[in-house]
Each structure stands twice: as C-alpha cells, then as structure tokens.
Amino acid sequence: MCGIFGVTHSAEASYLTYLGLHALQHRGEEAAGITSSNGKHCIRVVRAGLVDEGMTPDVLKGLAGDFAIGHTRYSTSGGSLERNAQPLMAHNTAMGELAIAHNGNIPGYRKLREAFQKKGALFYTDSDTEVLLVAIVQELQHRLHNGVKSTPELLGECISRALAPIEGAYSLLMLTRDFLVAVRDPWGFRPLALGRLKDSDALASETNAFDLIGAKFERDIKPGEILILPRRGNPRSFFITAKNASAKVGPQPCIFELVYFARPDSSLFGRDAYWARREMGRQLAQEAPVKDADCVVPVPDSATVQALGYAERLKLPLEVGLVRSHYIGRTFIAPHQTIRDFSARLKLNPVRGLLRGKKVVLIDDSIVRGTTSRKIVRLIREVGGAKEIHMRIASPPVKWPCFYGIDMPTKKELIASQRSVEEIQKFLGVDSLKYLSLKGLLQASGGSDGSFCHACFSGQYKIAQKAVRESLNCEALGTRH
Amino acid sequence: MCGIFGVTHSAEASYLTYLGLHALQHRGEEAAGITSSNGKHCIRVVRAGLVDEGMTPDVLKGLAGDFAIGHTRYSTSGGSLERNAQPLMAHNTAMGELAIAHNGNIPGYRKLREAFQKKGALFYTDSDTEVLLVAIVQELQHRLHNGVKSTPELLGECISRALAPIEGAYSLLMLTRDFLVAVRDPWGFRPLALGRLKDSDALASETNAFDLIGAKFERDIKPGEILILPRRGNPRSFFITAKNASAKVGPQPCIFELVYFARPDSSLFGRDAYWARREMGRQLAQEAPVKDADCVVPVPDSATVQALGYAERLKLPLEVGLVRSHYIGRTFIAPHQTIRDFSARLKLNPVRGLLRGKKVVLIDDSIVRGTTSRKIVRLIREVGGAKEIHMRIASPPVKWPCFYGIDMPTKKELIASQRSVEEIQKFLGVDSLKYLSLKGLLQASGGSDGSFCHACFSGQYKIAQKAVRESLNCEALGTRH
Amino acid sequence: MCGIFGVTHSAEASYLTYLGLHALQHRGEEAAGITSSNGKHCIRVVRAGLVDEGMTPDVLKGLAGDFAIGHTRYSTSGGSLERNAQPLMAHNTAMGELAIAHNGNIPGYRKLREAFQKKGALFYTDSDTEVLLVAIVQELQHRLHNGVKSTPELLGECISRALAPIEGAYSLLMLTRDFLVAVRDPWGFRPLALGRLKDSDALASETNAFDLIGAKFERDIKPGEILILPRRGNPRSFFITAKNASAKVGPQPCIFELVYFARPDSSLFGRDAYWARREMGRQLAQEAPVKDADCVVPVPDSATVQALGYAERLKLPLEVGLVRSHYIGRTFIAPHQTIRDFSARLKLNPVRGLLRGKKVVLIDDSIVRGTTSRKIVRLIREVGGAKEIHMRIASPPVKWPCFYGIDMPTKKELIASQRSVEEIQKFLGVDSLKYLSLKGLLQASGGSDGSFCHACFSGQYKIAQKAVRESLNCEALGTRH
Amino acid sequence: MCGIFGVTHSAEASYLTYLGLHALQHRGEEAAGITSSNGKHCIRVVRAGLVDEGMTPDVLKGLAGDFAIGHTRYSTSGGSLERNAQPLMAHNTAMGELAIAHNGNIPGYRKLREAFQKKGALFYTDSDTEVLLVAIVQELQHRLHNGVKSTPELLGECISRALAPIEGAYSLLMLTRDFLVAVRDPWGFRPLALGRLKDSDALASETNAFDLIGAKFERDIKPGEILILPRRGNPRSFFITAKNASAKVGPQPCIFELVYFARPDSSLFGRDAYWARREMGRQLAQEAPVKDADCVVPVPDSATVQALGYAERLKLPLEVGLVRSHYIGRTFIAPHQTIRDFSARLKLNPVRGLLRGKKVVLIDDSIVRGTTSRKIVRLIREVGGAKEIHMRIASPPVKWPCFYGIDMPTKKELIASQRSVEEIQKFLGVDSLKYLSLKGLLQASGGSDGSFCHACFSGQYKIAQKAVRESLNCEALGTRH
C-alpha cells in the first residue's frame, strides 16, 4: 500500500505535499518522497522513515516550485530504499524530467518489462512502477522527438496508449515541468480524489488529506480517467480504453480499503468509511449476536467504529477495554529475555479490573495471520481476567492474497486459507468466533456483488488473471520471485 | 509532570527500565534518563526526546548492572536539558555515586537552597530536585564519613531526617551501588507503586508500566514511606515524620491524575482510573444532561471513557466523531501560510458527514487555557457541519495553578480564572457549556472533600502555604522566577 | 575527478573496498559508493560525504559478497547526489544487475544520449556514466537474450563493441554477479592499476590504495584493455579498437595527475609521482632560480616535494613556513563578520617570526584561479612578515579547461587564460613570479611532447575534438550546459 | 591535555570561541564546550567530538552574549562525557552562574575533595576541575552573601585565597555574567596567552588561535597571575601567593609542550616552538650524527621541523619519505582480518622506491610506548625497502609519567622506563637508536636546568611532591584510582 498526494499552483506546493503525505501516513510508513517542479526543472528527494522524519525544513526548502507530487511507501526492506523509492523520475525525456508516484500493483509487470528490455530499455529498479514509467516515456519519445510541441492532447494520448495494454491496479500522479497528471486505472481499484484550495488543485489517495490543508473535496478521479493539469490553461480529461476481455470488467474498487485500510474520516468510492464500518458492525450484530454478553470491546483503533455499531444494535455496553499506546511506530529494541506477547503489549494494554470475570465480545475488523489476535486474546484473558471471550470479525475470512496493491502475506500465511473457522477459534483461544458474511459486508458497504473487488475474500480475481494464476502457482510450488 | 521507574535484581535492569519509561512516556516527552548500578559504580545517561529516540541499543548496552532507575521529563526548554536532566547524580558521596529521580515539585526550594549555599553547598542546576539531593547527601556525609558502615537503617534515618523539614510533593527513586530507594512524601501527592517480576522488585509512577514488562502490582508506596531495597538482604521500610502544621494535614493525592494525567489502564491511589472516569461521565450526565441530543462525541483519547459513561447514562448514541492522528508527538514544520486551526487539525479530524446537521454533546475531561477547545469546536462546526454543540466537561473549572507537580500555566492563563462559565461558552463558540461539580468529581473518584488535593479547582493549598502564597503574589505582580 | 577501487575473491570484499576508497579519498570527498556481489545479486549503497562518514559498520555489514567495486566522487552539488551517485546500477539486465564506476569524462555524451533516447532508452541521471552503462547493457541485451550463456568472451566483445565508438576519458570498474571488469580507454587518460592480495585481485586508481590493504602492485591496466575477472576461471584480457581518426592518436596519460592530483606515494603511468615532482622542483630551480633568497617555503602539502627539489638544487634552506591544519575537510560555519582571508587562514598559518624580514621563495604546484594563492601571499606578508616573496610554480600556466576528467573551472575563471604572467604577479602581490616551462615539465615527468595529454597547459585537445570545440564555444558565448 | 580559549566584548563571542577552539583542536579531540554570557546569564553547551562536529550553527546561535570561554578535551572515555565535560558551571552562586575551563592537572585533588566534602560540599564529577570550582565558589559565598557588591578586587581576592593552598598545574578561564577571568598557576606549567582584536581581549592556550581570528598577540599571562576582565571598566591583575615550600620553586613551564604538544606556529613561554624544534634537530645532529646516510626522513608532521634542522646541520638530503593521510581523526571500522601494522598504515605510507636500498635516518620527536614507532619502522623496511634505518629522537627517553597535565601512560607502559636504549633499539628493529640529551634539549629550548619542568625525562617532580609520590606508589602496587 501507498499514499499519493499532489498539488498545483501554490507557492507552498512542497509544504502542502508534505502535509498531505503526513495525513496519508497510515498508508505507508517506510519511506516518503516528494518531487517539485518550478516550470523549468523537477527536483526529487526521497527519504526512509516517516514523512516528518525525512522531510526536514532543509529538504522542503530545497524542493522549490509551485507544483509538487509525493508518495509514502509501505514496508519494503531497508536496503532497497534507494532503488525502489518513489516518485521515480526519468531525466532528459522528450518533456524534460518526468516523475511518477504509484499506488497499486501490476501483477504481470515482469513480462512487460522483458518486452521493453528486448527493445533496448534499461531498468534501474525491480518495481512495476518503472514499467509504467518506461511505457509512458517511450510513447512520448516516439511522438515528441522532432520538436513537436507538448500539448495536453498529445500527453493524454501518449499516456492513454501506453497504459491501455496494461492490466492491474494503478492510481498515479505524474509531474513534468509543465504538467501535473492524475490517472486511475480503468477498474478504479485504488482511490484518488480531487480537491480545491483557493487557486490550487489538490489530489490525494484519501480525502482526510484535504481536511488537513483546508481544501474542499471536489470529486473522485473516475476509473480510466487521465486528468491533466497544465501550468497555464484549463484542466483536460482523457480516458484509457482497456483492451480485450478486461475492457468488459466493470469497476473494481477495493473493498478492503473500506474494511480496514482507509482512515474512518475519509470518503472513497463515493462512500464514507465511517458509515460503512458502523454498518458492518450492525450487520455483524445481526448475523452473529452474543447473548448475555457483559460488554463489547473493540481492538483499537481499527475496529472501534464497527464495535460501536455492534454494541448499539444489541444494546450492549461498549467498553474501551484495550488502551492503545500513542508512542508506537518507531523501531523498538527487542527484549533479550522473553516477555510473553511483548509485541502486543507494546501496542495494547487491557484495563485491569474492567473485564475481570466478564463475558466479553471482542470486535476486530479482520484477521490476516492470526498471530496478533492470539496475543491480544491472551492479554485479555491473562492480564484483563475476562471469563469468556467471543470474537466477532466485521468482514469475511481473508483466504486469498491481494495482487492489486494491498500488502498481504502469501496464501500459506493467511490463517483462513489454511484452517477452518473452528480451527482458528481454537488457535486464538476464544470461546466463539464468527465472521461477517461477504453478502453482509457488501450490503454494509452499500454495493452488490459486482460493485467491488473482493478477491481477498472470494478468490475472484477479475483482472490480469493469467499473471495472478502464475503467481498463485509459484507460491504453491514454494517459489517466490 | 514526570514519570519514574526502577527495578532491582535483574540482568536486564536497564532494558526493563527503558520499557517502563516507555509505558510512562505520557508523563513526559521531553527527555529521558536512566542510571544503572552494578554494585560498584553507577552509570548515568540522559537524552533529549522520547525514550525510544534517546535510549538506543548502544546506550542501553553501556548501562550495565542489575539495578536501575529512570525518569521521563515533561516540557523544559531544550537549552537547559543538560542542566536539569534526571536522574541527577552526585559523585563520590559517602555512599559513592547517588542518583535521584523525582516526580513532584517543592514550592519553597529556593529558600532551602539559599540555606544550603550559606553552609557552602554548590548548585549545578536550577531544579528543586537538586535541593533534595543536597539535603540527603549532606546528611549522609555527616553520619558516614568515619568509615561507618552504610546500613539500610542508617540510610533510612538520613533520608528521613533530610526530608522531614521539606514541604512539597515528591515521589522519589534513588540509586547507589548498594541500594535502590523509593520515597513518597508524607501527603502522597504523586503516585508510586511497587510491583514484582520473578526475583525483582519494580517501582513505577503508574501500574501500566508493570503490565508491559509482565510484572505483578503489589501495592502503592505509602505516603511518607521510605522503602529501601538492598542488593543483599530484605527490603526495609522507614517513615518520614513531617514537621509542624503540615504534619497534621492528611493524605493529599492529586485528583487531577484521575481526571486527566494517568493512563486509563492504570490504578493509583487505590483506584482504577478507568472506573473513576466512567463514573465522572455518568455523574456529569446526571448533573448536566442535554435533551434531544443526536449523539455524544468525546475529545479523543483523553475523554473517551467519560463520554462512554455520559452516553450510557442518558442512553444517547456515542460516535467517534473526531479521529485522532497516530503520528503526532514530534516536531512539525510550521506552515508559512495560515491554515486556520492548524495545530488542532494536525491532531484531530472530524468525520465528514457524521455530524452534519446534528445536535452534538462534546465531552472533554477539562479545560485549561481554552484555546485548543475553541479550535476543536470550530472544526466540528465548520468541517463537521454540526448544528448545535453542547460542551460538557467532566471536572470543575480549573482556576488555580498547581504547585505540587502538575505543569500548568499561570493563573492569568487559566481561562476559568479570568472568565465566567458564560464568557467561556461564548469564547468557545458552543451552544451551551457545563462543568461537573467538585462534589460530583469527588464522589465519582470515590472520596470525600478531605481525601484529595483539589487545589487547582478549589484554591485550597494545604502544604507549603507560605511558598505558594508568595508564588501567587509574584504572579499577580507579573514577576515569575 | 574520482577514485575507483575493486577487489575479487575476498570474504571482506566490501571492507577492503572501503579501505581502498579511503586511500583514494583525495580524489573525491563529496560522496562514496560501494556495490558488492555474492554470486547471485549485487547490492549497492551510496552515501554523501567522506568514505568514513557514509560507510558505517552497518552499511558494510549489509554489503555482503566476495566481489566489490567502489567509487569516491568529487564535488557535485548536494541536491543531485541521489541522481548522480556511483556506482550506477542497472537492474534485470541480461546478466542480472550490472554496476559501473567511472573515473573520467566523455565530452560528447549528450549527443550519444540523444541517439540512445531515439532508440527508446530512458535516462535517470544527467551523467556521462549512464551513457556508457546504456551502451554496454544494450549490447548485452542484444547478444544474450535468448538464453545464450554469458562467457568472458561474449562480455568482452560486448564491452569492446559498445565502447569502440565513444571518444573520451574513462577508467571503469564494472560488477555483475559473475564478473568484475576493469576497463581503460584506448588513450589511457586516467590511471588504473592491478594489484594482488593473497587470492584476490585488486584494482585501484592509485597504488597507494594497495599499500593500505597490504596488496602488491602488479601492473597498470593498459590503454584500451578490458580485463575480465570471473568468479571461477582465469582472468581474460580484451582490447577496444578506437574508431576513425582517434585510433591514430597515441597514449594520452594526464600530466596533471603527476603535477597535482595523485598522492606523492603513488605510482602511475609507470612513474613514481614523488620522483616526478622532485624533478619538477629541480627543473624549476634551473629555469627560474632566485638569487640570495633566505629560504624556500612550500605551500603544503601539495608542493612540498617540489620545494625539496628546488631547495636542494639551489642549496637554499627549506622551511616549513606554512603550517597546515589537520582538521579541515568538513563544513565550516561561515563567519558573520569579515575575517580577512579567512578561508586560507583556516587551512594554513605562517610560522610567526620565521619569515620576518626574509626574502622568501614560495613554491606551489600550479595556479588555477589565483584567489587562494593571493590570500596565502597576503598571510605570509602580513602575518609572517616576509620582506620579499618570489613565487615559483612547478608547472606551466593553466590556460585551458580539462574535458577529460579533471574538475577545472571554465576558461574565463582560469587566471592564466585571462592575464599575462606579469598581471598575475601583480594580482598575487608577489615580487616576482615564474612558471616551469612545458618542456621542462615533460622532461621532469620523463616523457616527450607526444607522451602525455597536456591540453590544460597547451590547448592541444586530441580526442573528441568536435565536442570539445563546441563546449569551448558555448563557454565563449556564456552558455554552459 | 586540553585547550582553552576566551574572548570579551564581541557580538560574535561564541563564534570567535568556536574558531579559537578549532585552532586548538590538536590539544583535545574528544569533546568541546562553550559557555557564553550576555551580562545576565551564562549559557553552556558541551558536545562530544571535534569542535566542528558538535558546535553546529544552531548550537552557536543559542550561545548568545558578548563574552565567552571554551574548552577542548583530550581523550576521556565516552561514557563519562556528561560528567566531565567542560566548561563546568555552578548555578546560583553569589555571582550567579560561574563557569570554569581548565588546562592542567591537580595531583592531590582527591584529598582536597574530601576536605570539602566534610564541610558539606557535593560533587557531581570525578574531576580535579570541580575541586577548583568548589574552592572558588565557597570563597565567594563566604564574602558575598550579604549583598556585598561583586568588585574585581573582591573576586581577585577570593580566587587568590581559594587557589593559594592548591599545588598543581592549572591554566584557567572563568566566566560569570560580569567578568571573564584568566588564571595561571604560580609555576606556569601550562601556557596561556593574551591577545587583542579591536575592542576585544582574547585568551588562548596557544597563539596560533589568535592568528586564525586575526587577533594580535599581546603577552603571556604571568605565572600566578589572575587577570580580571570586567564587562565595564579596566582589566585588573592580581597574584596568587603559593604556600609553604612550593612557594620557593620557580617557574616550571612544561618542556614537552615545546617538544611535541604545541603547534609549530605557536609561541609559548616566550619562545617560538618552530625555532626550538629546529634547534633540537641541529643539536641532535651534533650529538648523534649518522655517517654516510642517504637521506633524513621525518615522522610527519610532528618531527618535520626537527628533521629539517638535523638534515641542514649534516648537509644530508631531506626526503618526505612518509606520506601522512589527511583523513584521519575519526572513528575507523576495525578490520576483521589482520592487516599487519594497520593502524600505522592508516596514517602513514612510505613512498615506494624512494627509500629502496637506502641508509635512512628516521627522525621523531619522542618515543612514548614505542608500539607505533615499531610499526613505522616495519613499514619503512617492508613497504619502503630501506636497507638501514637509524632512528634519532629529538628529546631524551620519556621515563616518568606526567602529573601536571600531559596525558601519558603509566610508568610501566613507558618503554624507556622499562628497557635500556639498546633494548628499545632491538624492539623497534632499527640499526641504531640515539636520543637527544636533556642538556641538549634544554639548550635548544633556550633555557637552563631550572627553567623548565622536565619531570617526564628526569623524574624531578617539584610540585605536589607528596601526591605525586603516592600516585607513583599506587602504580607500582598495580592499583590506579
């Protein structure tokens, strides 16, 4: 997962991008990068760590210009920072520097890369983003090298042609000396919203970034849309036409964004995350009530809203029975001697006394590996002293890995892919365990079966099917590329 | 405010202290320090910033020994770090190195210091803690200089004699090569708890520190108690006898710890903070209900438990209408252009849509200056779109500064000291404003009028009255020392 | 200017490379980079600053493998570090990762780049090195893409073909998972030596790097040689055949390396720098003696050896009249108030009293801009109190910029290009000024007119003449690309 | 060893002190500290490492005021930085803050400390400097506590009284809000000079610090002098009268400053270090010539001037046969595999070829432990290929530790204390070894037997004899306190 942000026509473009990335920090804590443009050149700085850590006043001062785009990146191992950092930037293209920031994933990018390599392209990174960049730059080089003027039309056409054959998930921001471009893949897997702040256009993965800088949410970028914001002149929209079978697959917004990933105060895919989650909780209460429970306890902060909905529906008292530490998110020295369930203790602490002898409903948004859940359950039992723990999950079992941009473990590591609900219940050590049904989830999210990508729950991968199948096979064979 | 932690008889003493300080991080984010002892020497390291930032693996490795004490410090301006860092450590005393970590405040320490200076003492800092240290070391020097053996009895007597004449708030941890000592002033202003982890004794300002390291809470250190934990032999308790009038004043545990300061998962003064806060919310609902409200919204995270109690009592729906960012707590680059209410936006964001057109009850634990509250109210009104905002505060108006260890602004800066409730309501821009009564607060906290220090609400300063009066006069005259 | 170092078959390859770069630190202080290979992958780390600063123990630990190459870079402005850092590394080529480290300069690289761009190549940097990399990788892609095995022959042929059309100065080290390759351009502008340490081959810009790690100097890499060192099997040499007119130009080793750049304890181009410099001093004494001088004073440390030769020849006493500070080389805070000649004072201080009232011969190796020399002369006059200062330069006037890898200012900034010797004498404020003749320099260096590149003194650019002419014209027109 | 610097009446006092400390960096590389005064308060910052590393622009900006003093400290283990950092500063004394910076050593400080402790003083460090500080502050407290005005007379009298009973080496700078004070012990062990820069007085351990900032050397502070520079009014000098026997001992300037420690461009004790060293070389040539030698090679940079004198006297050619690296002085990663004589190789490299087959005279200023000399000899033999190496030392054998401020190893570690010259010659692996006689050294230094402290060569400790004897006994018994 990643977060992307961009802004035009502002003397403080880099600073606003820094704030925007800060608001999107939950989408990626490992690295942050900003590229700014002053109409002549683009400057790019990338740093490991949180936005606030890497983007120091000195760095921001160096990022001159009135257009900027930025990127926060999720978990890639430290060593490869320098290679995979974003925005990526090509130098000396037909339009000068061209930077790109990408949220999403292209399942078949290795095949695409080989094709470009045969034609003579060099690759400096191992990322799918570079493939998108090469595709677009080559298209530009083709059309522009004879002193042809770079118009929005030409740029739109180039991007449209370059991306049309590519299947996968991509919300993109691009920056050249003259243009800021926002793109969303034809299926709209990942969110991307347009906002307005005085004379500036702003673009963000999630709308809470607009709130921080005082911008007004205008609309979502449409699936397949290429929005070109020139330094001078009006914005122009173009559209990518997907090819072949994939053209017939409708919108595939990622339901997991609503379940877990997005901030509760964000709107995306035309929905408020908060309301969707409250509804998931209510639906869960209807599908899987616990009788005579003493209280409902959320795993904070990601399941608090769902727990509100659950408790309200069943008129059970809600208790903030797990206190979350505010000081996590940085490297922590591992203890030499074993402190049982230490990683969970660092983040969460049960309120002593509150749960002693109680029959507790524990609400979480989802279970991925199950290891953290097990530790939390044990803390509630041992430190908190709960008598019965009934776990309720406000989404279906996660059985399939995501190939469209959510960072998930392999199939083998997904507990629900390997064990039955009963076995998971045993593994977690809870007195009962129930999940929300897929139907219930879709209903709570305000959509029907066809209106979301829910492959992680259902295994129904609709785009780049061949590449996905190969990846799944590789994994089955124990090879990971 | 500060947090203190100590541990005995553990090969990982410094590491456990580091974890303990991490759990007490909310009591002070400005600096952290640890002193360890290996039976021969004490080593001391102090660093600016959060515990995780300053206490790196290299630092911890250098802090050898099986006894350790630590300190986290609240907000003192950067420049003076080196002077005022804690633990403070005297070198070459009659017992070798002697380190001290202090949570509290001694109102009349300047007078005491002058007396010591006349007798020839030097001071390297401007802190009250150094006065305590000098008092104790001089007493030790007196008794021990002729090769007298340093027994717990002798040490207890020295500390008792040194502290008996001193009026003020102090929970102390001290460390020498042979002993770890825990002390609480005769009035018990600040908390200090004893825990047990295998063969080790642990001491902490709050019990949540025990949960993190897997220790068991044993008991509170008693007001006036001097608990001496020797490297070899049994723990011994001694008691300080306060002098003169102050001897007659009973326990004065700080009620503001329960209102705001302590973590909700801590027990202190024999009470669970969580239950006390829930009760404050219920009591507030009874004293100041809002009719026909659409929902109850807490200012997170400090008023969430109170809001639960309030909503439950009135059977109103609770909504997490303000989302708190997880990434605050570090230096943030100030924006050049004005973003209205920026400092509040960085921390909190109203959930769009959720509150639109609603009649909202906004719950907070207390109001100090009122400036942050005003920004939050404005965010809820402007970004959130609430129709009516009724603010309810789960404690009485804060009218008096604290001289016993809570870091509070001067009387002039306390909004309730300068304005009536009606004026504050206007200032905040809310439709109504009500506070919990002192009586209600005491009742919710499970005590009567005499069982707490509530000077910040009532102005009833019972200890070090002369020094307090002088400080209040200075402030009135516009001089602050 | 840059320094390059590489080593094969050593469990400490990265560490030895770190030491080698440290020995070559004088060739570039701005950034350092190392790429290591473990037979499967190449890892690359690049850091701003001195080798010791950037290449920390943690960094070196991460650079696993038994083959490694490294690079130290001279003065490029900070912002562009991330773009222009070396070794450059292509990912996913026909031979996996391919890293390149370059010492030299390709005058016409922009033209070459355009040609590659037309064929579809992307560029991530603005450096000539990337052009070399693209040329080689494309050649490899061509020959290897159908599962053809990568043999030394094939690699040698690819590199030879790729580089044959390129005119300019390049000493290169390349690393893939299977091979370390050393290349020197057909004219041998820059040095590159081969050494031996137990089972390892070592390669270094200068031989003093071998001394530090205890390696034995074997031989210089020959002009045009491609030496391929495979992980398994014997080393193989191939040769580049330059094209067209340039093929007829003989060896062009840079005489400025002997004059100033190389360390005095290095051997290069089959000569000892020390002896060459001593000879330059002797020759200078013969050509430009100073009668009745009291003493000879070198500008330390670069002209000390020349001054020895000068003093010896004329039987004049040598005095270390300028003391050089050991603590320079890091960023220094600029003074707010003017301290006259501050930048010179920071580095050098005249020995008070030693020169008072004396007739001094001041020896320097060369004058580039003349500004530093002027400050030094003033210090000797004002602080040192010298009566007469006769400056003698152990090389001819530098009148032409270098396009083959020495970092020099533009023609306009070269004082000898703009002013006569008489005018320079006046500008410097010396009583007399004389330079060594080109003939004398060549003789001292043990060569004739055709055996060195001396374009900076003579303007005789023999390679890439067209590109050089264009660059000179641009400069004349005030445009610099 | 340490360096101290101070300046009055300058808007850039802290910046000038930073420059002054930079010039004195060779006297201590481990830590640097500055205290500035603005007439109201003193601010103190201390940092580990070189002056340039710790004293960043931000730090200097924080050190407001027009008076400042600073200190660079030699080699104390890292852990104790915070305790032993200088300037030391007392807070809230009768004159407000009082900071002290000390170059020297008080052999019997532990006894003095005990006496103060019995009177009730606390010590925060283990340093002799704190004893001086306590002595002075207590004297001040005595005289000033009743509102008596702090005049230069009073201050001079207090300092004089406080220091009169103390035997040892101390050059001091002190700073209060109103005064900068310079003090030199009655025997003048350590240098301290007064300079003038416009309206400012400057004070420095060595005169090269004046050159850097453009100040003019005025005079040495006299042995026993207390020079008080008030913010307003004229400077005043007072004198310390030593007590008892020590009063009869005349000046004891440290001859080792001239031999090795001071920069060659400094004047101290009324002598130019450069001339003294040149004379030592000439004298050495006379006492211990080498016949038929091919060349004279100095160990750079400390013996270069001596080698000049030696070579000149015997009309032998001087060769810079060892090249010193400019990049040492920072932490270096230790090699895992053995590189023989690595630590010497890092610093020095013999010029290949230059010494091959030659009969070499190797000049050094002194031998302390002998281990580095042995490595250098081996490098010259093995890498350089010298046939014969005749070592000549421009001072007598160092047989006794220094108790007056030079950081030297214990007697056991001094090679000349444990072995005869013949044995040392064998240990070093040289063909012959000769030292300068003490008489020759004194003559070269322009003094007679009574005009210097030469205890390290002669064992004649004249001051604090009792404490010195006890220290020597402790060492003999294997105990070090």
Kindly give the pairing relationship between strand D359-364 and strand D388-393.
parallel
Q: Which residues contact D37 (CB under 8 A, 6 or more apart)?
A: D43, D65, D66, D67, D68, D97, D175, D176, D177, D180
Query: What CA–CA distance (Å, rounded) separates B113 from B128?
Result: 8
Q: Quote the minimal CA–CA distance from C329 to chain D in Å.
A: 8
Q: Taking CB atoms and an 8 Å cutoff, what residues of chain A touch C79?
A: 43, 45, 62
Which chains have at least 3 CB atom pairs separated by less than 8 Å from chain C? A, D
What integer pLDDT is reported at residue C333 of this predicted model? Answer: 63
Tell me, what amino acid is at B22?
A: H
3-state secondary structure of D395: coil
- Contact: C141, A62; criterion CB under 8 Å: no
* Separation CA A231–CA B252 (nearest Å): 66
Round to whole Å and give the CA distance between D36 and D21. Answer: 14
Please name the member of C319, C323, C328 whose beta carbon is closest to the beta carbon of D263. Answer: C323
Q: Is residue C481 part of a domain?
A: no
Q: What pTM does this model have?
A: 0.85
Average pLDDT, chain A: 91
Which pLDDT tens digit goes with each residue over A317-346?
A: 999 999 998 886 545 566 666 677 888 888
The residue that leads in pLDDT, B276 or C82, is: B276
Condensed to tens digits (0 to 9), the pLDDT of residues C169-187 reads 999 999 999 999 999 999 9
Nearest chain A Cα distance for residue C410, angstroms: 24
Closest by Cβ to A117, choosing from C45, C124, C141: C141
- Identify the band that residue C243 occupies on the pLDDT scale cut at 50, 70 and 90: confident
CB contact under 8 A, C117 and A44: no
Contacts of D91 in chain B (CB under 8 A): 83, 123-126
Q: How far apart are CA A290 and CA D9, in angstroms?
A: 79
pLDDT, tens digit, 9 for 90 and up, residues A289-321? 999 999 999 999 899 999 999 999 999 999 999
Q: In this structure, are A338 and A417 located in the same domain?
A: yes
Q: B-chain residues within 8 Å CB-CB of A57? A: 333
Residues of chain A contacting residue B337, judged by C-beta atoms under 8 Å apart: 11-12
Does residue A303 fall inside a structural domain? yes
Number of domains in chain D: 2
Task: Please report, rounded to a whole number, the percentage of residues in chain C having pLDDT higher than 70.
Answer: 94
Q: Omega into D301 within 30° of 0, i.e. cis? A: yes
Specify the DSSP class assigned to residue D94. Answer: B
Determine whether the interchain pair D122/B90 forms a contact, defined as Cβ–Cβ distance below 8 Å: yes
Residue tagged 């309120």 (tokens): A351
A15, closest residue in chain B (CA to CA): B335
The 10 Å Cβ neighbour count of residue B261 is 23
Interface membership of D136 toward B (CB under 8 Å): no
A464 and chain B: CB distance < 8 Å anywhere?
Answer: no
Nearest CB partner across the interface for D124, out of B113, B120, B124 = B124
> Would you say residue C471 has pLDDT above 80?
yes
Q: Are residues B375 and B241 located together in one domain of the fold?
A: no
Write down the pLDDT at residue D144: 78
| D123 interaction partners in chain B (CB closer than 8 Å) | 90-93
Average pLDDT on C126-142 reads: 91
Residue D335 pLDDT: 61
Q: Say whether pLDDT at C104 is over 70.
A: yes
Nearest CB partner across the interface for B43, out of D79, D113, D125: D79
Residue B419 within a domain = yes
Say if the Cβ atoms of B93 and D122 lie within 8 Å.
Answer: yes
pLDDT band at A223 (very low <50, low <70, confident <90, very high): very high
d(CA C414, CA C403): 14
Report how far residue D5's alpha carbon sits from residue C112's, in angstroms, rounded to the nearest whole number. 58
Query: Does one domain contain both D235 and D297?
Result: no
Same domain, C417 and C455: yes
Distance CA(C458)–CA(A383), nearest Å, equals: 84
Q: Do B349 and A304 touch (CB under 8 A)?
A: no
Q: Do the Cβ atoms of A351 and B50 come within 8 Å?
A: no
Q: Which tens digits make up the pLDDT trace of D140-158?
A: 888 876 667 789 999 999 9
Q: What is the ipTM of this complex?
A: 0.92
Same domain, B209 and B107: yes
Residue D263 domain flag: no
Same domain, C324 and C278: yes
Of C118, C125, C145, the CB nearest to A118: C145
- Enzyme catalytic residues of A: 2
A353 inside 8 A of chain C by CB: no
Whole-number Cα distances in Å, D331 to B57, C14, C49, C208, D49: 19, 18, 15, 21, 10
Q: Does B contact A via 3+ CB–CB distances below 8 Å?
A: yes
A160 assigned to some structural domain: yes
* Start-to-end C-alpha separation, chain D: 19
Put simply, the chain C residues between 364 and 383 with a CB less than 8 A from any chain D CB are 383
Task: Using the predicted structure, report yes or no on whether residue C76 has a pLDDT greater than 80.
Answer: no
A410 contacts chain C (CB < 8 A)? no
Q: B147-169: per-residue pLDDT in tens?
A: 677 899 999 999 999 999 999 99
Long-range contacts of C424-429 (CB under 8 A, 24+ apart): C424/C367, C424/C370, C424/C397, C425/C391, C427/C370, C427/C374, C428/C370, C428/C373, C428/C374, C428/C377, C428/C391, C429/C374, C429/C377, C429/C378, C429/C381, C429/C389
B317: Cβ–Cβ under 8 A, 6 or more apart, which residues? Answer: A312, B294, B295, B296, B311
Which regions of chain B are under pLDDT 50? 76-79, 330, 480-481
A404-430 average pLDDT score: 95
Q: Flag whether pLDDT at A197 surpasses 60.
A: yes
- Taking CA–CA distances from D110, the nearest residue in chain B reads B92
CATH number at residue C316: 3.40.50.2020
Q: pLDDT, tens digit, for every residue of C345-362?
A: 889 999 988 999 999 999
* Beta-carbon contacts of residue C137 (< 8 Å; ≥ 6 apart): A122, C90, C93, C94, C98
Asked if A90's CB is within 8 angstroms of C141's CB, the reply is: no
User: Computed over its alpha carbons, how large is the radius of gyration of chain B?
Assistant: 23
The beta strand positions in A321-364, using DSSP E, are 322-324, 348-350, 359-364
Q: Establish if B354 belongs to a structural domain.
A: yes
Q: Is A287 in the same domain as A230?
A: no
CA distance D273 to D268: 7
Q: Do B145 and D62 touch (CB under 8 A)?
A: no
At residue D88's C-alpha, the angle toward residues D85 and D94, to 5°, is 165
- Residue C79, pLDDT above cutoff 50: no
Which has more confidence, D121 or A62? A62
Average pLDDT of chain C, as a whole number: 91
Q: For residue C352, what are the domain limits?
A: 273-461
Whether D58 and D180 share a structural domain: yes
- Min Cα distance C85 → chain A (Å) is 11
- Please state the separation of Cα A422 from the chain's center in Å: 30
Which residues from chain C sit within 8 angstroms of residue D23, using beta carbons? Answer: 325
Q: Are residue B288 and residue B381 in the same domain, yes or no?
A: yes
Q: Does any domain span residue C264?
A: no
Same domain, C387 and C314: yes
C445: helix, strand or coil: coil
The list of chain D residues with pLDDT below 50 reads 76-79, 330, 480-481
B57 to chain A: which residues are within 8 Å by CB?
333
The DSSP H or E segment spanning D88 is: strand D88-93
Instruction: Indicate yes or no: CB of A337 within 8 angstroms of CB of B308.
Output: no
Do B172 and B110 share a structural domain? yes
* Judgement on whether residues A179 and A314 belong to the same structural domain of the protein: no
Please tell me which residue, B436 or C122, carries the higher pLDDT value: B436
- The CATH number of the domain where A211 resides is what? 3.60.20.10
pLDDT for D77 equals 40
Cβ separation of C122 and A122 shorter than 8 Å? yes
Query: Would residue C267 count as lying in a domain?
Result: no
